[in-house]
Structure 1
Amino acid sequence: MAKTYHKPTFIERIRANYFSTWLDTTLTLGFGALVLWVLLGLFDWAFLNAVWSEAEREQCGHGSGGACWAVIDARWRLIFFGLYPFEEQWRSAIACIAMVVTGALSCVPWFWSARRLPVLWLVGFAIFYVLMRGGLFGLTPVSEQNWGGLSLTLFIFASVTLIGMPMAIVFALLRRSHLPMIAGTMGVIIDTIRSLPLLSIMFTFAIVLPFVLPGWAVGDKLYRVIVGYALFFACYQAEIIRGGMQALPAGQEEAAQALGMGYWHRIGYIVLPQAFRNALPPTINQLVITFKETSLVVIIGFFEVLASGNAAYGTAEWNFAHIEVYCFVALIYFTFVFALSRYGAYLERRLAVAAR
């Protein structure tokens, strides 16, 4: 008579994994006590003994023993909006909301088409840019030099993604061209750019490029940095997409060609959809890295959210509250990155079910 399989319960798995021997039990209890002690201390510092209001600023560091979140209450506008004019900061806030809503709507399956998704992002980006730049619909013009904070971080990330993703698709297609000259040249370009640090590319486009360009082509430093960052992103993403293409069975494209489908129909309807499905995990990872590395623009003089955080405690009044400011900035990054990673995990599960 065959034995029936007994699936262990949660308690049985915990006992087998953490309390099976006296050594495992000792280590589990000791490590658990250490973690609990750290969490209780952190909770006490961050919540129980914290100072929350700017009106209670005098209590910071004088017997409270907790975090001084009063610096966030006093300087949150600087962190979120940077150098943007105070009376116009409502525009920056609405622009950030527009980009977040655009990202949320792009998660809705109805927008997952080659026509709707680009239109959605172009419309959302146009709303963001008009609100930030002004000059239309009676809005006061605000130059890019006065942009900053979270809105500048979102602008750089969205711009790099919108420019870099189409470039990555073109680079990947050129890299797998059947013409050796085209494929070899594209391979050299991609490998050269990928071998360079992102910071050196930003410096080149921000500082060096104006010396070799004609005056009419120089443009604003912010846009030159975005183009350089998009090129860097495109080279990495192109290799990710090309890996997704190479994972496809060779017979699929050959069968489509035998059926009389043209090149662009084969690429648009057969190759790219499956390539992006195969390359989804590294693509999400690349987007996460891109969002976090927007902080590098602080090195070349841009006032993004991390630089705004530095300025928030960079006064004699708040110079002791750097830990609280960095925790708040880290929470901003965590919110966006965690949401992006969870959405990527959801897409993986959805596409895995659809592929069965």
Structure 2
Amino acid sequence: MSTAASDTTMSYIRKHYFATPLNSAISVLLALFTLWVLWSLFDWAVLKAIWGKGLNEECRAHEHGACWSFVATRWRIVLFGLYPFEEQWRSALACLVMLAVAVLSCMPAFWSAKRLPILWVLGFATFFVLMRGGVFGLTEVTERDWGGLSLTVFIFAAVCLLGMPLAIIFALLRRSELPWIAKTMALVIDVIRSLPLLSIMFTFAIVLPFVLPDWAIGDKLYRVIVGYAIFFACYQAEIIRGGMQALLMGQEEAAKALGMGYWHRIGYIILPQAFRNALPPTINQFVITFKETSLVTIIGFFDILASGRAAAGTADWSFATIEMYLFVGFLFFIFVFCLSRYGAYLERRMAVGSR
């Protein structure tokens, strides 16, 4: 750090935290309290913790530290849920495939309207084949046996894959020049956005089979994904529409004057800039979507949160509830933190929000 930057930082600290004797006393007390909390957490989570596999009796006898033996012993249930033990390598490989897709999506070489959808479709198809099996000599594992992290990743990827094209369609219909189309789409979006996500999941999981013909019912998991994708699309459509409204009207008018058709104007002028303008809320929407996948546990799916409860729900490990929630929370934190940091990088690269 340069001398000028250091002086600026010290000036800021003196001005905001040590300007008066009272401010100085409060700042010192809060700093000491923060250090005490951090030291207590470090002491509990590291210094006094129990490490190793299968040491539940030692954890019961030693109550003053964290029992990370729970994670070492029960991590398979948390990550893979009900997936057959001998086939769990497929679930792990499927998650790695989607991780690779996410990493490749961050590379500018794939930032095109053709490459990015192809990458996600191929990656998701590979993920599904690995999880479901029944082809290429893989044992078939039905959706009712899926669970853990892989189910959470599957729901999130499927919702985004279905929801993003729907969001673009909804946004275009919302700004249609035909009033009856625009008003109808606005009503649909506003109604769905006013409903809790959980009520939509319940509707698609439980109510919808009563009004659909037998051939259209399908599996409960896919009905929930469709309902979640529609919910995601309605929110994302308003984000995209906001990005479109931020554009200068003269750009579309100039494109019309040059003789460009509707789809060329949308594909080459409107949508690229709209997505650029809507980048911060879009990243936020992806983060919210990933976190809200945990709601599926309420309607009977064995996602990572339900798998964690099952892992800590036995008599041998019932005392490790805190460690279980910390482990699951850490997995969520890794994804959300990486996504938020990547979003911040994109904002700096594209100078979004600097105007």
Same fold (TM over 0.5): yes
Are residues 299 and 7 of structure 1, via their aligned partners in 2, closer, same or farther at CA, if it must alter by over 3 Å? Answer: closer
Write the distance in 2 (CA, Å) between the matches of 1:250 and 1:55: 66
Partner amino acid, structure 2, of 1:137: F
The answer for unaligned runs of 5 or more in structure 2 is: none
Query: Aligned pair in 2 of structure 1 residues 48, 114: CA closer, same or farther (>3 Å)?
Result: same
CA contact (8 A) 2:53 2:69 kept: yes
Q: 1: distance between equivalents of 2:9 and 2:331?
A: 35
User: Alpha-carbon deviations, 1:140-196, whole Å to 9, x = none?
Assistant: 000000000000000000000000000000000000000001001101110111111
- Does residue 224 of structure 2 align to residue 225 of structure 1? yes
> Is the CA contact (8 Å cut-off) linking 1:49 and 1:64 kept in structure 2?
no
Residues in 2 aligned to 1:6 and 1:289: alpha-carbon distance in whole angstroms? 36
Residues 239-276 of structure 1 deviation map (CA, whole Å, 9 limit, x = unaligned): 11001101111111001000000000000011001101
Q: Within 5 Å, which residues of 2 pair with 1:178-217?
A: 178-217=177-216
State the secondary structure of the residue aligned to 1:248: coil
Structure-2 change in CA distance of 1:326 and 1:353 (3 Å): closer
Q: Is the 8 A contact 1:253 1:271 kept in 2?
A: yes
2:234 aligns to what SS in structure 1? Answer: helix
Give distance in 1, aligned partners of 2:55 and 2:302: 29
Shift of 1:61: 3.3
The amino acid that maps onto 2:101 is T
* TM-superposed deviation, 1:64: 5.0
Number of the residue aligned with 1:63: 62
In 2, the alpha carbon distance for the partners of 1:124 and 1:341 equals: 22
Measure the CA separation in 2 of the matches of 1:214 and 1:354. 49
- Where does residue 278 of structure 1 map in the other structure? 277
Partners of 2:313 and 2:89 in 1: CA distance: 24
3-state DSSP of counterpart to 1:140: coil
Residues 50 and 64 in structure 1, CA contact (< 8 A), matched pair in contact too: no
How many angstroms apart in 1 are the aligned matches of 2:323 and 2:8? 42
Partner of 1:94: 93
The residue aligned with 1:74 is 73
Measure, in 2, the Cα distance between the counterparts of 1:264 and 1:37. 60
Q: Letter of the aligned partner of 1:239 in structure 2? A: E
Offset from partner CA, 1:15-35 (integer Å, 9 cap, x none):
222122111110110000000
Q: Return closer, same or farther for 1:113/1:6 CA change in 2, 3 Å cut-off.
A: closer
What's the CA shift for 1:57? 2.5
Offset of residue 293 of structure 1:
0.3
Superposed displacement of residue 8, structure 1? 4.2
Relative to structure 1, is the Cα distance of residues 128 and 67 closer, same or farther in structure 2, using a 3 angstrom cutoff?
same
1:104 alignment counterpart: 103
1:7 Cα deviation (Å)?
9.3
**Matched residue type, 1:36:** L
Whichever residue aligns with residue 154 of structure 1, its letter is V
1:287 alignment counterpart:
286
| C-alpha contact (below 8 Å) 1:50/1:69 kept by paired residues | yes
1:174, 1:186 within 8 Å by CA — same for their partners in 2? Answer: yes
- Is the alpha carbon distance of 1:354 and 1:258 closer, same or farther for their aligned partners in structure 2, counting shifts above 3 Å? farther
Distance 1:159 1:55 in 2: 36
Q: Deviations over 1:43-96 (max 9, x none)?
A: 000000001112433221323510011111111000000000000000000000
Pairwise CA distance, 1:353: 7.9
TM-score, normalised via structure 2 length: 0.96
- 2:175 counterpart residue number: 176
**Aligned mates of 2:215, 2:285 — CA distance in 1:** 33
Amino acid at match of 1:236: Y
Partner SS for 1:121: helix
Q: Where does residue 9 of structure 1 map in the other structure?
A: 8
Identical-residue share of aligned pairs (%)? 69
Asked if 2 retains the 8 angstrom alpha-carbon contact of 1:313 and 1:320, the reply is yes
- AA of the residue aligned to 1:240: I
Cα 1:324/1:7, change in 2 over 3 Å: closer
The yes-or-no answer on 1:51 pairing with 2:50 is: yes
Aligned partner of 1:145: which letter?
A: R
Q: Which residue does 1:342 correspond to in 2?
A: 341
Tell me how far apart the structure 2 counterparts of residues 153 and 56 of structure 1 sit (CA, whole Å): 29
Partner of 1:136: 135
Give secondary structure in 1 for the equivalent of 2:60: coil
Change (3 A) 1:272 1:111: same
Aligned equivalents of 1:72, 1:63: Cα separation in 2: 17
Q: Alignment RMSD, CA only? A: 1.6
Is contact 1:171–1:234 with CA below 8 Å preserved after alignment?
Answer: yes
TM-score, normalised via structure 1 length: 0.96
Question: Counterpart of 1:135 in 2: which secondary structure?
Answer: coil
Is contact 2:243–2:274 with CA below 8 Å preserved after alignment?
yes
SS in 1 for 2:42: helix
Indicate the SS of the match to 2:127.
helix
1:20 and 1:229 mapped to 2: Cα distance?
A: 51
Q: CA deviation at 1:14?
A: 1.9
Contact 1:102 1:124 in 2 (8 A): yes
1:304-330 residue CA offsets vs partner (Å, 9 max, x unmatched): 000000001001111111000000000
